[in-house]
Amino acid sequence: MRPPGLGGHLWLLLPPLLLAGLSAAPQSFSPSLRSWSGAPCRLSRTESERRCLAPGQAPGSALCHGRGRCDCGVCICHVTEPGTYFGPLCECHEWVCETYDGDTCAGHGTCDCGKCKCDLGWSGDACQYPTNCNLTKKKSNQMCKNSQDIVCSNAGTCHCGRCKCDDSDGNGLVYGKFCECDDRECIDDETEEICGAHLQELGRQSCRLSSVVMGKVLSCSLGLGTAPIGPTFRHA
């Protein structure tokens, strides 16, 4: 016999809590690429590695920007002494943002994925330039003079008491509070690489020439000492 009033259908009564859980389920659900932890990857090696490369990177390039390992198409980012890389392809970090006068983002912004996000009223790569200046030109230039009384070391222009260093090549090799640091000497004339291309990964470091018996060798300060990493050049 069927219970009266149910129109010949069998009804299943569920607790309200279970109903709430079902209604909260997403409309679409993508299953994991692994059936369970430790299971074989459901992607081919080629497809897994492709997903761990940035758009435009050639096959064979460093996976996860060289800052993590590729696990079934997902980047597991390295943890280093300064902190953790993050982002879908480990492309982000928060400890090598531009600094000005010893302060990250000049104290007028926050470091977001290696770039300064400036507070309102400030601009520049290091948030070092006020958008509104109330200084006279004379006072501004006075604040931009180095210890030799030269405005921005003749390697930049003065903007509201702060030097903006020449960067016509877009590589940021002239820097410093008064544009006193010039690492253009560190470019290899043959390869046009900066300190053996190590600076590009490490962020802006202090590149200098160290004397050796045969001449001079490129070396870069990594904060933990200085090690030669470039080719040796003979100088007349």
For residue 45, is it within any domain?
Answer: no
Number of domains in the chain: 2
Q: How far is CA 196 from CA 47, 75, 183, 218, in A?
A: 32, 27, 13, 8
**Residue 223 and residue 194 share a domain:** yes
* pTM higher than 0.85: no
Domain assignment present for 212: yes
- The residues, any chain, with a CB within 8 Å of residue 107's CB and separated by 6 or more, are 127
| Predicted confidence band of residue 175 (pLDDT cuts 50, 70, 90) | confident
Q: Would the pLDDT of 38 be above 90?
A: no
User: Which residue has better confidence, 115 or 219?
Assistant: 115
pLDDT digit string (tens) for 47-92? 999 999 998 888 888 999 898 999 999 999 988 777 778 889 998 8
Letter for the amino acid at 147? Answer: S
The string of pLDDT tens digits covering residues 74-84 is 999 988 777 77
* Domain at 162, CATH number: 2.10.25.10
In a domain, 33, yes or no: no
Q: Which range, of 39-43, 174-178, 180-184, 221-225, averages the lowest pLDDT?
A: 221-225
DSSP state of 203: -
Q: Find the largest Cα–Cα distance for the chain.
A: 108
Q: Which two tokens stand for residue 145?
A: 């003079």
Give the model confidence (pLDDT) of 99-115 as tens digits. 888 888 999 999 888 88
